[in-house]
Structure 1
Amino acid sequence: MRKVSWIISSLMNNPAKHYNILHLIDTTGHGGAETVFKTIVSGLDQPRYKSYVLLSDHGWLFDQLSAEPGVRVLVFNGKGRFNFSLLQKIVKVIRKYQINLVHTHLFGSSLYGSLATCVTRTPVVSTFHGIPDWRPDDLFNKIKLSIIFARAKAVVFVSEHLKNYFLTMAYIRPRRTACIYNGTTTPKVCKIDKHQAKKELGFSESDILVSAVGNIKPIKGYDVLLSAAESLVSRFPDVKFVVAGAPADTTYYQNLLNLRVKLNLVDSFFFIGYYEKPDIVYKSSDLFVLPSLSEGFSLAIIEAMAHKLPVVATKSGGPEEILENGVTGKLVSPGSYTELAQGITEVLENQSFQKKISENGFGVFLNKFSEIGMIQQYQYLYKFSINT
């Protein structure tokens, strides 16, 4: 488990206390950041940590966390470019529930949390999950980032790549930064085998499934995967490509459907939408692929590793810190459908290579990317931020 050494040394003699934590996030749908958010909230040590969650709307996160014992979920339906009422709501919640620390996720919530706690003087921990979709030379957003960095007791990045990127955007003392990799659980024993899982998704036992998991938007590079698939289906007639993810960008999704028709891939490339049982997707798969153009980390990769799948991924930032090329996975250049096709071919044609990277990847998952390890590091960070 990766340690945040500067935190641990400050906590050795600190007595156990009870803390009220307010969790904020920009979005409520199903995605990597939202999944990590849910994992942290539901996995904190109770009753030492009492969690309060303020969401902008109902949705997947609301449904998931409302069912969690000991978690108080609040919804504030606010719209607008800058929502002063949301600031007031955060201040009110902090005071009403005697919040000891605010944990924010993503850029917007981190800004609102930072501004609100200027009033309450409550410590803030801000977690960044990916590179924001604004230009590096955007002065206004750089000012916002400087406010977040100035107010936060600690800023967490989910990869060193992401940390290095943000440190070029605004100043923050290195002592107040930490890299905490996302974690996931070891899959529960599945009651169905691979053949049954394929059947549940509508495929036959002989189909070789190459899967990708993630919301559908341009940064995910599914157009690159489609182009790679065109060059592979004639060579591997039993291969079927499956993308499990909700259309976050409907225009891009429609363009993908049009491209699928143009490339004659309607019978071999499938978009199945958000699937409520992702374990079935992984269980049915023979190979996992991540074609992203940019990734802050990639929760989907470690989920695939946890399911002992061979992984082909792009060198898009976070994946290079998860996979060692040729040892725990296959890494290719982002945006290159030829390299992606070559990487997939190398894995599909070499059974011993498949076995090697699958087994090695599972071992790395157990040692480095466990859910328990991630939550422990956040709990250390909470106590450090509150007590110093």
Structure 2
Amino acid sequence: MNDFYNLTGYVARWLSLGQLRVLTHVRFLPQVLPQVFARPWRWLAEHAAHQVLCVSEAVRKYFDPSNACVRTLYDPLPAHGEALPPYMVSANVNNAKQTVRMLYLSNYIRGKGQNFALEAFRLAYARNPGLQLHFVGGDMGMAKNQDFRQVLEATAKAAGLTEVVHFDGFAANTEAAMKAHDILLNFSEAESFSLTCLDALYYGVPLIATDCGGPAELFENGRSGLLVPNRDVESMAIAINKLAADVALRRQFSAASRIFVRQKFAPAHTYLLLADCYSRALAGR
């Protein structure tokens, strides 16, 4: 079952008189859900599933630490590898204009942090006029997401940032989008894992992310990326200015992040473990 609010597997197990084996994946942060629902779902997962597979330690912490059937199983690295040449920090630095291009790659959904990024950029830009910010993402055809994007665009216009802040729609080639920029930002309020952050680290694009759950487990703060407090705009702006001004630090992050994620999220630690979980379930173990 994908996420523990899906109760059909438990019903099916009951109808099978306990013979059906149930594996429950938890891919979001239960801590941010209404607890009147989350707590019963947690109890069912811990008592009715044979295994509960959490996408990060941030998710795992929500469950009973003594329950051996609950384990962390990270998402894997991009299966297709890198289709484009390796990312090079030096190739993205314009020495004449000192322009540093930042990318915010996320659908326009409240809670994904674009509003914090825009405010942090406004503060950082006042200290460094060489900055640019590019928002890329879809609205999923939903009116509330379209409204959110319009609010962001209106805010950028009111702040006089239309020349340096740009908004675009969905990008099919995220590797190309990331590698065309100098820094990737992710200031989400809650993330169980964040494939966007993982991809940026995998491609070697310097990352600044919020301490909002899973992203803190994807890199080493200060060595392969920068982690800032959740919803702390001033800290975000400081981190932007720090990384934008330090080409050597960006090169360090680029090299270190590529090594770190390839080791931590190697097949033996991700999808091969998943295969083992299902093999054991099929074998009745």
TM-score when normalising by structure 1: 0.64
Contact 2:137 2:171 in 1 (8 A): yes
Query: Structure 2 residue aligned with 1:187, among 63, 69, 81?
Result: 81
Structure 1: how far apart are the matches of 2:201 and 2:86? 19
Displacement of 1:257:
2.6
Query: Structure 2 residue aligned with 1:259, among 146, 150, 155?
Result: 155
Aligned to 2:47: 150
Structure 2: how far apart are the matches of 1:256 and 1:224? 10
With over 3 angstroms needed to count, the CA separation of the structure-2 counterparts of 1:115 and 1:145, relative to structure 1, is farther
Aligned AA for 1:128?
A: V
Contact 2:53 2:72 in 1 (8 A): yes
Aligned AA for 1:218?
A: R
User: Residues 38-49 of structure 1: matches in 2 within 5 Å?
Assistant: none
Structure 1: how far apart are the matches of 2:86 and 2:69? 46
Displacement of 1:302:
1.3
User: Residues 116-135 of structure 1: matches in 2 within 5 Å?
Assistant: 116-120=12-16, 121-132=19-30, 134-135=33-34
User: Residues 151-300 of structure 1: matches in 2 within 5 Å?
Assistant: 151-165=48-62, 167=63, 174-185=67-78, 187-190=81-84, 207-247=99-139, 249-250=144-145, 251-300=147-196
Residue 218 of structure 1 aligns to a residue whose secondary structure is: coil
Contact 2:3 2:27 in 1 (8 A): yes
Q: Which has the higher contact order (CA 8 A, sep 6+)?
A: 2
Q: Deviations over 1:325-354 (max 9, x none)?
A: 111111111111110010011111111111
Q: Deviations over 1:299-321 (max 9, x none)?
A: 11110011111111111121221
Structure 2: how far apart are the matches of 1:306 and 1:233? 28
Aligned AA for 1:142?
A: R
Q: Which moved more, 1:372-381 or 1:287-296?
A: 372-381
Q: How many residues align?
A: 271
1:344 aligns with 2:236: no
With over 3 angstroms needed to count, the CA separation of the structure-2 counterparts of 1:172 and 1:346, relative to structure 1, is closer
Q: Which moved more, 1:256-265 or 1:375-384?
A: 256-265
User: Residues 351-366 of structure 1: matches in 2 within 5 Å?
Assistant: 351-366=247-262
With over 3 angstroms needed to count, the CA separation of the structure-2 counterparts of 1:266 and 1:111, relative to structure 1, is farther
Structure 1: how far apart are the matches of 2:45 and 2:57? 19
Structure 2 unmatched runs, 5+: none
Q: Indicate the RMSD between aligned Cα atoms, in angstroms.
A: 2.7
User: Residues 18-57 of structure 1: matches in 2 within 5 Å?
Assistant: none
Displacement of 1:151:
2.0
Query: Structure 2 residue aligned with 1:322, among 212, 218, 226?
Result: 218
Q: Deviations over 1:254-284 (max 9, x none)?
A: 3323322222222222232221111111110
Contact 2:52 2:71 in 1 (8 A): yes
Q: Which moved more, 1:373-382 or 1:233-242?
A: 233-242
Structure 2: how far apart are the matches of 1:131 and 1:216? 19
Q: Deviations over 1:42-78 (max 9, x none)?
A: xxxxxxxxxxxxxxxxxxxxxxxxxxxxxxxxxxxxx
Aligned to 1:44: none
Contact 1:111 1:145 in 2 (8 A): no
Contact 1:111 1:148 in 2 (8 A): no
Aligned AA for 1:303?
A: D
With over 3 angstroms needed to count, the CA separation of the structure-2 counterparts of 1:193 and 1:338, relative to structure 1, is closer
Paired-residue identity, %? 20
Structure 1 unmatched runs, 5+: 1-103, 199-204
Structure 2: how far apart are the matches of 1:363 and 1:353? 16
Structure 2: how far apart are the matches of 1:256 and 1:111? 37
Contact 2:124 2:238 in 1 (8 A): no
Aligned AA for 1:122?
A: L
